[in-house]
Structure 1
Amino acid sequence: MASTERHTLIGDVHLLLTDDQGRILFGRRAGTGYADGAFHPPSGHLEAEESVVEALRREAVEEIGVQIAPEDVEFAHIMHNSSSGGRVAFFFQVRKWEGEPTNMEPDKCDALEWFAVDALPAEMIPYCREALGHISSGTSLSLFGW
């Protein structure tokens, strides 16, 4: 039976920056203490009083130094993940941006690389790999770890 206690969700945004060849930009995590060595798209937590689109645009500037117009953000997927007691990961695809992707957080990331969806890196955080599979199959909602 479910608890009657209200649950507070942690919200994450994930940027699927996609080039003209259909490849997605990933960073390799380093020095974070969590999944170091794994590739992951630019991502981050929602901050107070921030929409998911605002959060995605902020993370794009903070992590890879690119500017994204709100109208260029396309919803791709939402995943309810059981980690940390439950979090919601929003995945957005962006095909148009300004600037050259650059590693703006070398203390958390030691490489940026483009990968085709059918040739993803071996080392990835599992929920992200699963979400990309759902996106490829056209599924807009998934559960992970429940």
Structure 2
Amino acid sequence: MLILEQGEYLLLAERAGGYAAGQLNLPSGKVEFGEDVFEAVAREGQEEVGVTIHRDSLRIVHVMQYKNPEGGVRLSWFLATSHWDGEPVNAEPDKCARIMWCKRSEIPDNTYESNALGIQHYLKGEPHSVHGWVSRA
């Protein structure tokens, strides 16, 4: 998951009909064969919001193991940067209704849960978290 930050951070509004329709998400996607997480995040930044991100400008800010309400398990890497080339735009209008900048102090109520949790941990400086499991300890 990509956190583009310049005093604010960027979210995408998912278009109706897709997974998480109407909810806000960070630019994100799956790692493709042969990519590492840095390459995947830079590629997703280009595909989803039209910006070029250089690998050395990315930093890992949070890693989350998350179990969604349907029982699917995800390992999400949150990487942040405040340096990119180009102006963020809605580069996938067939998937995204709009992009929006949000104040660091605010997480909109309709932000997809795993994204909201990751942003909260990132803002607190917490490097990792686990969500969706009951502790057996």
Same fold (TM over 0.5): yes
2:60 alignment counterpart: 75
Deviation, structure 1 residue 86? 1.9
1:37 paired with 2:22, answer yes
1:90 alignment counterpart: 77
Looking at structure 1, the residues matched to 17 and 65 of structure 2 have their Cα atoms a distance apart, in angstroms, of 23
2:37 alignment counterpart: 52
1:117 alignment counterpart: 104
1:24 alignment counterpart: 9
Q: Does the residue aligned with 1:118 lie in a helix, a strand or coil?
A: coil
Q: Is the 8 A contact 2:64 2:75 kept in 1?
A: yes
Looking at structure 2, the residues matched to 131 and 139 of structure 1 have their Cα atoms a distance apart, in angstroms, of 9
Looking at structure 2, the residues matched to 61 and 32 of structure 1 have their Cα atoms a distance apart, in angstroms, of 23
Identity score, percent: 34
- Structure 2 spans left out of the alignment, 5+ residues: none
TM-score, normalised by the number of residues in structure 2: 0.90
Q: Is the 8 A contact 1:18 1:93 kept in 2?
A: yes
1:144 paired with 2:124, answer no
| Residue-pair matches, total | 131
Task: Say what the alpha-carbon RMSD is for the aligned residues.
Answer: 1.2
TM-score, normalised by the number of residues in structure 1: 0.85
Q: Is the 8 A contact 2:4 2:81 kept in 1?
A: yes
Deviation, structure 1 residue 117? 2.2
Deviation, structure 1 residue 132? 1.2
Q: Does the residue aligned with 1:46 lie in a helix, a strand or coil?
A: coil
Q: Is the 8 A contact 1:60 1:67 kept in 2?
A: yes
Q: Is the 8 A contact 2:14 2:95 kept in 1?
A: yes
- TM superposition outliers: structure 1 runs of 4+ over 6 Å: none
Q: Which amino acid aligns with 1:17?
A: L
- Structure 1 spans left out of the alignment, 5+ residues: 1-13
Q: Which amino acid aligns with 1:138?
A: G
Looking at structure 2, the residues matched to 61 and 127 of structure 1 have their Cα atoms a distance apart, in angstroms, of 22
